[in-house]
DNA sequence: GGGCCTAGCTTGTTTGAACAAGTTCGCCTA
DNA sequence: TAGGCGAACTTGTTCAAACAAGCTAGGCCC
């Protein structure tokens, strides 16, 4: 069994998504839930805190909690891994490595991956397709210490995240993402079957292990209209930040 | 004074941002912090939970907490309000209403704002500039009940969010955001001074009051390169979600 | 020297209790 | 009837204690 509060959160989440509570309706009070689940108030609070973080419920001191929506945010794994996300939504996903080679890290890459300039890194160019249509172009730089594991993957590996976990036990735990829009370059256009200059949604990200060690730096470009990022937030919890452009050269 | 845990979180945050702890370094243990701040372990845990949600520190059961970075996520207000965000980063921001008129809500708008089709709504077209350069085009639909307050604002109102708070005490508490890339239409191109078809970063959002009542539905388009969205997340906390495109017609 | 194992440290989970602070709603008064 | 008041309810904050579970480092054995 998982933690108690996680179980309670799960039951409440299902009840909300099932429609037991309408959007805008009130949730039972903490005291009531504590009795129903035979848990202390603290544990119940932890459970509803999970739902609040997912954006499902909101709360104000003094008033009952309110149901804000029915769609749950997906897990970190689903956010990080294109394959896991696509699969969880029932889409058929494929991938293909077009290029892969080791190089010495330049200053930018070294900084981002917490390496010394000149240390070995592995650059990979990958196309991902949804239902056979190419929708995503990934230009990834892996830190040298993980390169062997990445190179040993098949070129059409579906989920790199999962493969790395299974082969070397690597876990991605933290990520920082920068999202903006860019025009498709010549190569982008050719590989994604769009016209040059057409809009792409760009997501640049650094991912690190649970110990805080950077593993990869990636520039992912989505064909416009194929994928949308969705964010739920509240006065309490909010992870999204705007930044003025041109802070960093684009790789 | 604010809550105890908030104060502790603040001190720790400052220490991290000041560089007392290097990125990758360990934070003192909960027990140690409890002694130092003369608080119970529970309160200390609440404080570090705040930092974890901000993406500043990470934690693993059994091991000391690790400093992950030095940049803090901004507040919800800064995320929601373009003006407040820009001001907090030291930019000069201006705004101008180009069009404003009441209409009956169509089915889409009514659904998103939890109204009945035919109820009155207020549509506003606004341009926002950074340092005099137009960077953002806002097409906003306000629910009828807030329309009078919006109409009474000056056309060059800098911060609508703040103005509405001051005039009628309206507070924005929750938001749902959809982010993708689109090509600039004829009107977009003219008003943002870009070529037609050039890439724009689009953010569609619904914002609601603390009671869960939708206030506005907006389609914001940023000129490419002017603004970047940044997200920090971890296995525990993650608010960002991908969605397959074409789920909803674009306004 | 190399590998295993355990003791102690550190974070995760849960309970129970108490008070603070904000909301709601009915009642009472002017 | 309109407004104000207050009691009951509900969430927010804090404390203290105990056990579970994962991690680390040092010592021990081969």
Q: For testing the chain B interface, which of A67, A205, A225, A244 should be mutated: the one with the most B CBs within 10 Å? A: A244
Are B244 and A233 inside 8 Å of each other by CB?
no
Please report, for residues A99, B5, B147, B176, B220, the alpha-carbon distance to residue B124 in angstroms, rounded to integers and kept in the order given.
Answer: 48, 41, 10, 19, 12
Size of interface A-B (CB pairs under 8 A): 270
Query: Taking a contact as any Cβ pair under 8 Å apart, which residues of chain B between 108 and 137 contact chain A?
Result: 114, 130
For B89-124, letters b (16+ CB in 10 Å) and e give: eeeebbbebeebeeeebeeebbebbebeeeeebbbb
Shortest CA distance to B142 belongs to which of B163, B248, B132? Answer: B163
CA of B169 to C1' of D3 (A): 21
pLDDT digits (tens, 9 = 90+) for B48-63: 999 988 888 989 899 9
Residues 50-69 of A with CB under 8 A from B: 53-55, 58, 60, 63, 66-69
In this predicted structure, which of A54-63, A174-183, B241-250 has the lowest mean pLDDT?
A: B241-250
Query: Does residue A185 contact residue A197 with C-beta atoms inside 8 Å?
Result: no
Q: Does A49 touch chain B (CB under 8 A)?
A: no
**Half-sphere exposure for A157 (CA within 13 Å, toward CB):** 22
**pLDDT, tens digit, for every residue of A5-23?**
999 999 999 999 999 998 8
Q: Is the CB of A61 under 7 A from strand C?
A: yes
What is the reported pLDDT for B75?
A: 54
Mean pLDDT of A120-149: 93
Question: Residue B248 pLDDT more than 80?
Answer: no
Q: Does A185 reach chain B within 8 Å, measured CB to CB?
A: no
Residues of chain A with CATH 1.10.10.10: 4-67
Asked if residue A247 has pLDDT above 60, the reply is no
Q: What is the CATH number of domain A4-67?
A: 1.10.10.10
Retrieve residue A38's tokens.
Answer: 């035979």
Residues B113-118, mean pLDDT to the nearest whole number: 88
Q: Provide, as residue numbers in chain A, all residues whose Cβ is less than 8 Å from the Cβ of B89.
A: 244
According to the model, what pLDDT value does residue B235 have?
61
Q: What is the DSSP letter of A29?
A: P
Searching chain B, which residue's CA lies closest to the CA of residue A130? B244
Q: Is the pLDDT of residue A97 over 60?
A: yes
Greatest CA separation found in chain B?
63
Q: Exposed, middle or buried, B246 (CB in 10 Å: 0-12/13-18/19+)?
A: exposed
pLDDT band at B239 (very low <50, low <70, confident <90, very high): very low
What CATH number belongs to A76-223?
3.40.1410.10
**The pLDDT of residue A175:** 84
pLDDT at B244: 40
Task: Determine the average pLDDT of the residues in B173-194.
Answer: 92
Transcribe A60-80 into DSSP letters. ETTEEEEE--SPPPPPHHHHH
- Of A65-69, B16-20, B81-85, the least confident: B81-85
Which of the listed ranges A58-62, B71-75, B137-141, B238-242 does the model predict with the highest average pLDDT?
A: B137-141
For CATH 3.40.1410.10, the residue range(s) in chain B are 76-223
pLDDT over 90 at A128, yes or no: yes
Per DSSP, the residues of A40-63 read -HHHHHHHHHHHHHTTSEEEETTE
Q: Which nucleotide is nearest to A33 (CA to C1')?
A: D10
Average pLDDT of the residues of chain A = 86
Element (H, E) at A160: helix A160-168
Q: Over 80: is that where the pLDDT of A135 sits?
A: yes
Mean pLDDT computed over every residue of chain B: 86
Decide if pLDDT at A250 tops 70.
no
Per-residue pLDDT at B227 exceeds 80:
yes
d(CA B57, CA B75): 17
- The SS3 of residue A109 is helix
Q: Which of the pair, B217 or B161, is modelled with greater confidence?
A: B217
- Give the model's confidence band at B72: pLDDT under 50 very low, under 70 low, under 90 confident, else very high: low
Nucleotides of D under 7 A from a protein CB: 9-18, 20-24
Paired residues of B103 in beta bridges: B121
User: What's the rounded Cα separation, in Å, for the pair B177 and A134?
Assistant: 25
Task: Inform me whether the pLDDT recorded for A101 exceeds 90.
Answer: yes
Nearest CB partner across the interface for B212, out of A68, A85, A227: A68
Token pair 């000129």 is found at B223
For A83, the enclosing helix (H) or strand (E) is helix A82-88
pLDDT tops 90 at residue A170:
no
Confidence of residue B249 (pLDDT cuts 50, 70, 90): very low
- The better pLDDT of the pair B87, A138 is held by A138
| C-alpha to C-alpha distance for B201 and A199, rounded to whole angstroms | 9
Cβ atoms of A243 and A207 closer than 8 Å = no
Across chain A, the runs of DSSP E, i.e. the strands, are: 57-60, 63-67, 93-104, 120-130, 133-143, 174-183, 199-208, 214-223, 227-234, 240-244
Write the pLDDT tens digit of every residue in A198-224: 999 999 999 988 888 899 999 999 999
């Amino acid at each position: 069994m998982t933690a108690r509060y996680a179980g309670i959160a799960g039951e409440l989440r299902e009840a909300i998504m099932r429609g037991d509570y309408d959007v805008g309706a009130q949730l039972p009070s903490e005291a009531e839930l504590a009795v129903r689940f035979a848990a202390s108030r603290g544990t119940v609070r932890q459970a509803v805190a999970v739902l609040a973080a997912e954006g499902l419920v909101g709360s104000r001191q003094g008033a009952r909690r309110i149901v804000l929506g029915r769609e749950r945010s997906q897990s970190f794994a689903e956010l990080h891994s294109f394959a896991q996300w696509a699969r969880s939504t029932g889409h058929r996903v494929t991938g293909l490595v077009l290029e892969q080679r080791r190089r010495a890290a330049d200053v930018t890459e070294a900084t981002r991956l917490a390496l010394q300039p000149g240390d070995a890194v592995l650059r990979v160019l990958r196309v991902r397709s949804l239902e056979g249509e190419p929708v995503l172009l990934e230009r990834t730089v892996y830190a040298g210490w993980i390169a062997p594991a990445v190179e040993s993957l098949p070129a059409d590996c579906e989920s790199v995240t999962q493969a790395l976990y299974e082969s070397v036990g690597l876990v991605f735990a933290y990520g920082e993402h920068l999202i903006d829009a860019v025009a498709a370059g010549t190569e982008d256009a050719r590989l994604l079957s769009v016209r040059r200059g057409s809009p792409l949604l760009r997501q640049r990200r650094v991912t690190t292990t649970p110990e805080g060690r950077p593993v990869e730096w990636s520039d992912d470009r989505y064909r416009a209209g194929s994928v949308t990022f969705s964010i739920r937030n509240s006065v309490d919890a909010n992870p999204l930040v705007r930044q003025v452009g041109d802070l960093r050269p684009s790789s």
